[in-house]
Amino acid sequence: MEKVAVIGLGMIGYELVKKYLELDDYDVYIITRSDKGFFNDVKKYFVDITNEYKIKEIIKKINPDYVINTAAMTNVDLCETERDLAYKINALGAKYIGEICKEIGSFLCHISTDYVFDGNKGNYTEKDPINPINYYGYTKAEGERLLNELDYELISIVRISVPYCISPVKVNFFMWVLERLKNNEPISVIIDQWNTPTYVNELVEGIVKIYEQNINGLLHFGGEKVSRYDFALKVAEVFGFDKSLIKPIKSFEMNWKAKRPKDTSLNSKKAEKLLNIKLKTIKEALKEIEKILK
């Protein structure tokens, strides 16, 4: 049996654990900060990844073949005001995990973000230079830099964008839209920002393959390019809700603390090629979710 350790039990971590429990050939370990009562039959270790000694000690004790780091401070506006903590979690935490993986020879998959880009270009490939415009993006870029500095070949960094799925852990943008439209409530959705939402069910399959096929380096894992407004319209269309409930608004009308990049769409051709997959369109993914919900 191979040992896989999933760090962070948020939206992505939860779906990864669920996926690995379905596969027979893995022994699953969870490393998390707080207990929300999920997966009570799985071995869980409670650690804050900013505690260098403890996180390294636990990983060393488990001695996993594969470590997947999904733990992060993901609230973009909070990162703007709680800068020290954001840096400790998103940059230093990633570094500690990378260092111990290198020491014990574990393969590490680290999740990063499209927000490392300034959003002026769009359709970003792995070769494009980064230039974050908010502190969250900066701390995630620093996490990548510190991992790259380790010069350890068994690291894969996967950049994702607005992940969506039905999650019992966190209400994501898609779930918010679905819930509001289902209740016939109007929503205001941004029309002038674009990204490539990552379908989480597809992402977790990709992360399994990354280890199985020993794929290291940087990978973009997005999907189809849309504005949030376009995305909401697709939700209404697939689930049969009233599109007129969705009102377009411009980003300047939002009262955000952190700046948001305009177009951080990711070009995921490298991932499609290396993992031998064809990423679903948003409608295909939404239809799949609709079937799961039935």
Interface with ligand NAP (CB under 6 A)? 8-13, 32-34, 48-50, 70-74, 89, 93, 111, 113, 140, 160-163, 169-170
Which residue's CB is nearer to ligand NAP, number 186 or number 254?
A: 254
Which residue's CB is nearer to ligand NAP, number 170 or number 243?
A: 170
Which residue's CB is nearer to ligand NAP, number 92 or number 233?
A: 92
Which residue's CB is nearer to ligand NAP, number 56 or number 140?
A: 140
Q: Are the C-beta atoms of 162 and 170 separated by less than 8 Å?
A: no
Chain centroid to CA 255: how far?
Answer: 24
Least distance between ligand NAP and beta carbon 186 (Å): 23
Least distance between ligand NAP and beta carbon 47 (Å): 6
* Amino acid symbol at 251: S
Which residue's CB is nearer to ligand NAP, number 218 or number 245?
A: 218
Strands 194-195 and 226-227: antiparallel
Least distance between ligand NAP and beta carbon 163 (Å): 5
Burial-class residue 145 by CB neighbours within 10 Å (0-12, 13-18, 19+).
middle
Which residue's CB is nearer to ligand NAP, number 49 or number 219?
A: 49
Least distance between ligand NAP and beta carbon 246 (Å): 20
Least distance between ligand NAP and beta carbon 229 (Å): 17
Least distance between ligand NAP and beta carbon 32 (Å): 6
Cβ-closest position to ligand NAP: 10
Q: Which long-range contacts (CB under 8 A, 24 or more apart) does 271-279 make?
A: 271/158, 271/206, 271/219, 271/220, 271/221, 274/213, 274/215, 274/219, 275/206, 275/209, 275/210, 275/213, 275/215, 277/202, 277/205, 277/206, 277/209, 279/199, 279/202, 279/222, 279/223, 279/224
